[in-house]
């Protein structure tokens, strides 16, 4: 596994940093980096990415999902101010009650939603130190059996929406030397026959995050 990292406003860039094989996830202890993370079995814990020690204000996409929700809880336990978005209003409200994090309901695939959610988060937090791109969908099928609609859904959710959210947040992140963490997958490097389009989408997400690292390194 490899990580792409950079410091917004600095010159550091490492596109081959090792990532712990169990990926303990997004923790609360280093927010000056742009990292690539992947979904792998194991406890979501402290991988050096966005952390409450240096990222006091964080936006988490997909916060009503299992991984995104765990990220929100971990960051809140570390003392970070967190706003998250998600499509499941019931789960979002329950997570807000448990953690005190802000919730912006919405579907990132709707036109204008990524920019609106980013703007709402910036308004609630007063700035941004970290962005966690945890929203995503899985479709299990070989490419030969993937419909146009399924392909479009995967790309819009796993690639286009993260790009639009990140682009809307870049200026605010650069102001404070912030960090971006994207939840990708091992299939980005080792594609699986039954996860054809999903593997393609996660590879694209990986390279999107590395390009953010390249651009962030020279800001």
Neighbour tally for 94: CB within 10 Å? 14
What is the CATH classification number for the domain harbouring 74? 3.40.50.720
Q: Which residues contact 59 (CB under 8 A, 6 or more apart)?
A: 82, 83, 84, 85, 117, 118, 121, 125, 128, 130, 131, 132, 165, 169
**Which one of the listed residues 81, 198, 199, 209 is annotated catalytic?**
198
Name the pLDDT band for 213 (thresholds 50, 70, 90).
confident
Residue 26 banded pLDDT, cuts 50, 70, 90: very low
Average pLDDT on 31-53 reads 39
Is residue 216's pLDDT more than 90?
Answer: no
- Is 198 catalytic? The answer is yes
Domain containing 185: what range?
Answer: 2-217
Is 175 in a helix, a strand, or coil? helix
pLDDT at position 192, please? 85
pLDDT tens, residue by residue, 101-142: 999 999 999 999 999 999 999 999 999 999 999 999 999 999
Residue 164 is predicted with a pLDDT of 98
> What is the predicted pLDDT for the residue at 50?
57
Task: Provide the 10 A C-beta neighbour count for residue 218.
Answer: 11
88 has a pLDDT exceeding 80: yes
Neighbours of 3 (CB within 10 A): 25
Structural domain count, the chain: 1
Extract the tokens encoding 152.
């479009």
pLDDT at 174: 86
> Which residues fall within 8 angstroms of residue 152, CB to CB, at 6 or more apart?
none
pLDDT at 1 exceeding the cut of 90: no
């Amino acid at each position: 596994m490899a990580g792409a990292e950079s410091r917004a406003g600095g010159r550091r860039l490492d596109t081959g940093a090792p990532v712990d094989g169990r990926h303990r996830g997004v923790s609360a202890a280093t927010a000056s980096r742009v990292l690539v993370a992947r979904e792998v079995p194991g406890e979501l814990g402290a991988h050096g990415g966005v952390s409450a020690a240096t990222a006091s204000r964080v936006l988490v996409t997909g916060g009503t999902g299992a991984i995104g929700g765990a990220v929100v809880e971990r960051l809140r336990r570390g003392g970070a101010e967190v706003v998250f978005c998600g499509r499941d209003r019931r789960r979002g409200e329950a997570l807000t009650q448990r953690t005190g994090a802000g919730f912006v309901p919405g579907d990132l695939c709707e036109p204008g939603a990524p920019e609106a959610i980013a703007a709402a988060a910036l308004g609630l937090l007063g700035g941004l130190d970290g962005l966690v791109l945890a929203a995503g969908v899985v479709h299990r099928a070989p490419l030969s059996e993937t419909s146009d609609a399924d392909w479009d859904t995967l790309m819009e959710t796993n690639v286009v929406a993260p790009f639009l959210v990140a682009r809307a947040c870049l200026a605010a992140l650069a102001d404070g030397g912030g960090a971006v963490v994207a939840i990708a997958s091992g299939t980005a490097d080792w594609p699986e026959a039954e996860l054809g389009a999903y593997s393609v989408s996660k590879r694209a997400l990986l390279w999107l995050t590395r390009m953010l690292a390249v651009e962030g390194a020279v800001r």
